[in-house]
Structure 1
Amino acid sequence: MSPMARTAPVPASTDPAIIRNFCIIAHIDHGKSTLADRMLQLTGAVEQRDMKAQYLDRMDIERERGITIKSQAVRLPWEVDGTAYALNMIDTPGHVDFTYEVSRSLAACEGAILLVDAAQGIEAQTLANLYLAMENNLTIIPVLNKIDLPAAQPEKYAAELASLIGGEPEDVMMVSGKTGVGVEALMDKIVRDLPAPTGDPNAPARAMIFDSVYDTYRGVVTYVRVVDGKLSPRERIQMMSTRASHELLEIGVSSPEPKPSKGLGVGEVGYLITGVKDVRQSKVGDTVTNLAKPAAQSLGGYQDPKPMVFSGLYPLDGTDYPVLRDALAKFTLNDAALLYEPETSAALGFGFRVGFLGLLHLEITRERLEREYNLDLISTAPNVEYEVTLEDKSVLKVTNPSEYPTGKIAEVREPMVSATILAPSEFVGAIMELCQQRRGVLGGMDYLSEDRVEIRYRLPLAEIVFDFFDLLKSKTRG
């Protein structure tokens, strides 16, 4: 059957039984965006002439580096046995520094495709994202990608995947995002195996904000997943945490370009535009409800992310300070994991102390601020936060050496990391030596197969902020 025969028009009815919400989770470079491309093509969501590789990676910086930084939600039409289904797919980043993006996407889904490279097998970030999905009680579909590669070992890794999530190796789907082999069967499996969203269509409307972006012309664009009730255009809505109310100017779905609709019902994923320019009024994790008939209880939001690495950002030209302040306010709308506070330095003048989830997060944020807001920035060397307890039992949080207290100190605490390192067994000695040098304490090790080992360590975060990953890569030949 040709792909064209399976493409159905997006159903107009919002019956939750025909909706499937899923995301793709994988390690960096395991082919998530390429698989998403094939799904967009196969379902006809993107015209052949508009198609380009890594279609959902919209930012220049994503395309240059070949990594996904932002989650993207898109609706795909798909027909099985004469019934037209609406599949809401959320493409997620793979790098550990963007785990917060992944955790927000998982809260909007009922299922997840666990994608593993058939030539590399399970990697650490795959495991981390898998545990996140399991905590959210998602249905997991294991998939091996890149089976067309000459180095692929599908049988070996299918057995590893099956033993990891419980199941049979033959249940693992085999696909190639590049050639499109097996993608159609995967789409059918998503419809068959993933549960439809549940919710009360007659209850007061409740929708969870899982992302928002700032558009210069239209103000704040908020992405939501509706849990109960229905949101319709031109009605007044209320944000439950800030109690701010707005008129819904436009509501619709992304497929993958924004498409206005007559409203969003139970289980649907879409966007809202209220014309609001104040970025503080659309908080990720907040609940949207109807002003005339508000819900009694808001949905549980997200755990606030804890910044791990702190760095100072200062404008090269002091007069750019207000521009940097506005840029950071708009940027946190797009990246809720960023925390910042103003600080001054004798040498650099006025700037901000910014908390990041990791070094790549720092690098990408700085590059995006410079490009998108036309700024020239200086960043100070990254460091971590210490807790200092004085003799009078008062506790200080220190993020900068200049804040270190004088006087008698009872104890100093630093952030610790419980690290899991997955590596070929031949490198165990080199890895243990590196961790020992970095004040690491061995927690245990397990052999996943005869040539792959999982080593667990407790390490001080300060020891791994700088060059730990680089050294780890060079000692294990990448």
Structure 2
Amino acid sequence: MDPKLIRNFSIIAHIDHGKSTLADQLLLQSGTITEREFHSQILDDLEIEKERGITVKARSVTIDYKKDGQTYELNLIDTPGHVDFHYEVNRSLAACEGALLLIDAFQGVQAQTVANAYAAIEVDLEIVPVVNKIDLQVIRVEEVLEEVENILGLDASEALRVSAKTGLNVDTVFDAIISKIPPPSGSPDKPLKALVFDSKFDKYRGVVTYVRMVDGVIRKGDNIRFMRENVNSEVIEIGQFRPGLVPCKELGPGQVGYVLTGVKELSRITVGDTVTMANNPAEAPLPGYQKPKQMVFCGMYPLDATGFESLRDELQKLSLNDSSFSFQPETSDALGFGFRCGFLGMLHMEIVQQRLEREQDMDLIQTAPNVTYEILTKSGKTMVIDNPQDVPDPSQIDEFREPIAKVSFIVPAENVGTIMQLSQDRRGIYKNTEFLGPTRAQVVYELPLSEIVYDMYDKLKSVTRGYGTMDYEIIGYTAADLVKMDILVKGEQVDALSTIVHRSTADRRGRALVKRLKTEINKHQFEIAIQAAIGGKIIARETISAFRKNVTAKCYGGDISRKRKLLEKQKEGKKRMKQFGAVEIPQKAFLSVLEANRDD
């Protein structure tokens, strides 16, 4: 294929601005799929994506489009819009020369619109602004175009106006892709160089490697090398996404497709690696991707101890398909053997958990999530902590640091005061306010990440009646007065319920947590004390009373000493039971830390 006839582009936008719907229309109007095959969100093939109506994984598809007697090959990468999946967007942009920036005709420029536009500008992509949803009864196209110029600094004079839902003006999108987005550079005569931008595991055929060709040509039977892992493999099959996996004879410069080598070991192929020929390798690998930094961690344990190996296998497959997810084995006194899993954010964590439970039918216990902290010890060593159990003795800590994020809120002008109060309550540091027009403003704060990830997004949507949006980026760590709060059940510490909190909120959160646990743990035959403690100091306590049988029910009258004897006997039995009885802690109790934070 002549590289001059190839266009590689991505669709980027804020969440729910119509990326997947536009992708569906491009496939339909180009003839890539028929009316009979067409259905909503055709590229979103995960069950969780269809149920929630959001894109979780970036998807690639090749479209053939005829214009002026020429057949152009358009490689589209549909991307997620939620802030937790921004890494997927960055990976997609690295494989493209241009991007369609989609903006809602009523909502206008939102927080993720700004973040994704800047990400595309940073990698020097050609950006084509597209105003979507012009079929809505209430639209403000001219104001939206003004926002594109004022906020993003893009020329909006030639912005496209379309309705992805009805297909109106979608033909102008094809023309803009061909005329405005540059063709890829690259030579078929140079040594093979291809970027691995994604991969997935097929239980019948092994690892399916997604590649964007840069130089050279790859064919079936070639002996290739993955440069980072230094693994040689023979190509069993190559092909393109149309939108299923369709084999082809060869892939040349600028093309996007897949490579099957029969490799079954998941660790041998990594996203960001460079594919080259084993007998004529390229001199240097491609830059690849910056490794994603997980900021939210939680423990995942099988409900049945025998499910440990099965859980390991499923987590390995997930990590191959999602390189922003990490896991490592850990043990808990309360829960046994499991894994410490790292995520980009709370939605990312929720999606992974639901995929394991639904797609793989796994029964899991998930502990409350926490963010990553840094601890400077008195010996001068810096520790990175993602598990409260790893926090050293307070006497060894010189400085406790927490991650800080720069948060940009875009909200209606009348909600500015509410957002400022919400941020101040969460230890935020005010930076600036910028009015984007008569009705909207951008408020910037620096906030501790732990105050954002739990429920900041939900609170924002609540106070702005759904009109507020936010985007955040981690800017570093700063010292704070943090402490480890332990939970004791019947005098024994439950390691899976420990959490790290700010000292100023420890009492309040401790009381909220023990109250929540009291409602989650069932009554036993003996009294159960639930306590929150910092070091050796108890800061909150709740007591679950014991089941009590009326042992005097059969005593009709007679001497009172007989009743007292029965009650004393019952008391002694309860005392022995309390000494040796075990407390059953239900699965839901381990997420009480999260619920207590939300109540707080």
Alignment TM-score, normalising by the size of structure 2: 0.76
Task: Note if contact 2:327-2:342 (Cα within 8 Å) is conserved in structure 1.
Answer: yes
AA at the equivalent of 1:91: D
The correspondence for 1:345, drawn from 322, 332, 336, is 332
Matching of residue 252 in structure 1 with residue 239 in structure 2: yes
List, as ranges, runs of 4+ consecutive aligned residues in structure 1 with deviation greater than 4 Å.
Answer: none
Please say if residues 21 and 111 of structure 1, whose CA atoms lie closer than 8 Å, have aligned partners that are also in contact.
yes
Deviation per residue, 1:198-245 (Å, 9 max, x gap): 012211000000000111111110100001111111111000000101
* Number of equivalent positions: 465
Residue from 362, 365, 381 that aligns with 1:394: 381
Of structures 1 and 2, the one scoring higher in RCO (CA 8 A, sep 6+) is 1
Greater shift after overlay, 408-417 or 395-404? 395-404
Which of 142, 147, 150 pairs up with 1:163?
150
Q: 2:449 aligns with which of 441, 450, 461?
A: 461
**Conserved 8 A contact 2:129-2:156:** no
| 1:168–1:244 distance in 2 versus 1, CA, 3 Å | closer
Q: For 1:29 and 1:348, how far apart are their aligned partners in 2? A: 39
2:53 corresponds in structure 1 to 66
Report what 2:398 is aligned to.
410
Structure-1 residue corresponding to 2:189: 202
- Answering whether residue 139 of structure 2 is matched by residue 127 of structure 1, we say no
Please state if 1:362 is matched with 2:330.
no
Provide the secondary structure at the position in 2 that maps to 1:22: strand
The answer on 1:50 being equivalent to 2:37 is yes
Structure 1 Cα separation of the partners of residues 354 and 397 of structure 2: 39
State the shift of 1:167 in Å: 4.7
Q: Counterpart amino acid of 2:406?
A: S
1:17 maps to a residue whose letter is K
Selected match of 1:420 from 408, 412, 426: 408
Deviation at 1:400, TM superposition (A): 2.2
- SS of structure 2 residue aligned to 1:49: coil
Matching residue within 348, 352, 363 for 1:376: 363
How far has the Cα of 1:409 moved from its partner? Answer: 2.0
Q: Spell out, residue by residue over 1:51-92, the C-alpha distance to the aligned partner (whole angstroms, 9 max, x if none).
A: 111111111111111111111110111122221110000001
The AA in structure 2 aligned to 1:436 is Q
Question: SS where residue 170 of structure 1 aligns?
Answer: coil
Q: SS of the residue aligned with 1:340?
A: strand
Q: 1:391-435, CA deviations, whole angstroms, 9 ceiling, x for partnerless residues?
A: 111122222222211123211111110111111111000000000
1:88 corresponds to which residue? 75
Equivalent-residue separation in structure 2 for 1:296 and 1:342 (angstroms): 38
User: Partner of 2:309: helix, strand, or coil?
Assistant: helix
SS at match of 2:252: coil
* 1:472 lines up with 2:460 in the alignment: yes
- After TM superposition, the structure 1 = structure 2 runs for residues 309-324 of structure 1, keeping only pairs within 5 Å, are 309-324=296-311
What CA distance in whole angstroms lies between the structure 2 residues aligned with 1:68 and 1:103? 15
Q: Decide whether the 8 Å contact of 1:205 with 1:228 is kept in 2.
A: yes
| Candidates 234, 238, 260, aligned match of 1:273 | 260
Superposed displacement of residue 163, structure 1: 2.8
SS for the counterpart of 2:370 is coil
**Aligned 8 A contact 1:382 1:465 in 2:** no
| C-alpha distance 300-167 of structure 1, shift in aligned 2 (>3 A) | closer
Distance 1:169 1:293, change over 3 A: closer
Are 1:331 and 2:331 matched, yes or no?
no
**Correspondence for 1:98:** 85
Larger deviation, residues 163-172 vs 422-431: 163-172
- Counterparts of residues 154-193 of structure 1 (less than 5 Å): 154-193=141-180
User: 1:162 touches 1:172 (CA, 8 Å); kept in 2?
Assistant: no
Q: Does 1:445 align with 2:433?
A: yes
Determine the C-alpha separation between the residues in 2 that align with 1:33 and 1:165: 23
| Structure 2 portions without partners, runs of 5+ | 467-600
Confirm or deny: 8 A CA contact 2:151 2:436 kept in the other structure. no
- Letter matched to residue 170 of structure 1: S
SS of residue matched to 1:41: helix
Encode CA deviations 1:17-44: one digit per residue, 9 max, x unaligned.
0000001001111111111111001100
Native 8 Å contact 2:430 2:445 kept in 1: yes
Percent identity over the alignment is 51
Read off the aligned partner of 2:115 and give its amino acid letter.
A
2:147 counterpart letter in structure 1: E
Q: Distance in 1 between matches of 2:160 and 2:55?
A: 23
- SS where residue 106 of structure 2 aligns? coil
Contact kept? 2:57, 2:80, Cα under 8 Å: yes
RMSD of aligned Cα (Å):
1.0
Structure 1 letter corresponding to 2:409: I
CA distance in 2 between counterparts of 1:400 and 1:336 reads: 21
Q: In 2, Cα distance between the equivalents of 1:168 and 1:405?
A: 54
Letter in 2 for 1:317: D
Could you list the runs of 5+ residues in structure 1 that have no partner in the other structure?
1-13
**Equivalent pair of 1:159/1:168 in contact (CA under 8 Å):** no
Could you tell me how far apart the structure 2 residues matched to 1:198 and 1:164 are?
A: 31
Shift of 1:451: 1.4
Question: Which AA in structure 1 matches 2:81?
Answer: G
Q: Which amino acid aligns with 1:381?
A: A
Partner residue in 2 for 1:11: none
